[in-house]
Structure 1
């Protein structure tokens, strides 16, 4: 499906390409979150998302967290699509939104109960997931926008 942005002459958006990139980003985000939890719990023995007695995998919260990372990437793809069809300089706005949301996600664990090491680990994992989503979706957004070819003006 090709969508023409509201801004005249800006190009068209290949929605299929954008959403394929978004789904690939969702998989990467889930794996980054999962890898972060396994690293924190298995290597550094930090009880992230489950008591220390739950082992390296933890409990069902580990799976829920990975799926939440994937869902966040899908929501970010929807936001990017909306920005691409409706705003001037959509990637600039997307970058700001994702950066600020990532900062909030990285700081959020510090206002909860838990050990300092668990807060640091969770904040670092959230930061890594946010960076992955931002970088990958920005690239997907750039590649999904098809600019019209530049033609020479008559008389030049």
Structure 2
């Protein structure tokens, strides 16, 4: 296991600069919220798509716009927490993180299709969720990679001397 020290394991555990990781996570949360707001304004204002609210609510929409942006920001913070735990506890944490984020993005893209909104609204919302998933995944993964503190590896020691032949 890469994150835990086990007796007899010559590999050192990774350490992480948590402040750097969470600062990047907070920045990603801000970016995600802004992507959500920009995406809703773009859809409603430029394309006339009723994203999250009926047309009568205007270009800005209703309270759903704020909740959507907040959900995007919280998703970024949840992804940051996930990668922090994965780095400390699992082998190949970036691979697991990639899978979890990819599947979460697929779920977010499919979620609009269980509503009774028009096909255009469902397609646009699925596309916006895709952009959010890619942005959150790439930004958090990049921050995580730079937050891992390299540890000097120790040479493996043998429990007994090797016999000469």
Q: Corresponding residue for 2:76?
A: 73
* Contact 1:10 1:147 (C-alpha < 8 Å) held by counterparts: no
What do residues 14-34 of structure 1 show as CA deviations (whole Å, max 9, x unaligned)?
Answer: 111110111001001101111
- Give a deviation string over 1:67-119, Cα, whole Å, max 9, x none: 11001111111111110100000011000000010011011101211111110
Matched, 1:18 2:21: yes
**2:41 is matched with which residue?**
38
CA contact (8 A) 1:5 1:13 kept: no
TM score, norm. by length of structure 1: 0.90
Instruction: Give the whole-Å Cα distance in 1 for the aligned partners of 2:94 and 2:23.
Output: 18
- Contact kept, 8 Å, 1:36 with 1:125, in 2: the verdict is yes
* Pick aligned residue for 1:92 from 92, 95, 99: 95
Which ranges of structure 2 fall in alignment gaps of 5 or more residues?
6-10, 157-165
DSSP-derived class of the 1:81 partner: helix
Three-state SS of the structure 2 residue aligned to 1:56 is: coil
Q: Which runs of 5 or more residues in structure 1 are unaligned?
A: none
2:24 and 2:13 mapped to 1: Cα distance? Answer: 21
Q: Is the 8 A contact 2:14 2:87 kept in 1?
A: no
- Residue 146 of structure 1, CA deviation: 1.0
Give the Å deviation of 1:120: 0.7
TM-score computed with the length of structure 2 as normaliser: 0.86
Identify the residue that residue 108 of structure 1 maps to in structure 2.
Answer: 111
**Rg larger in 1 or in 2?**
2
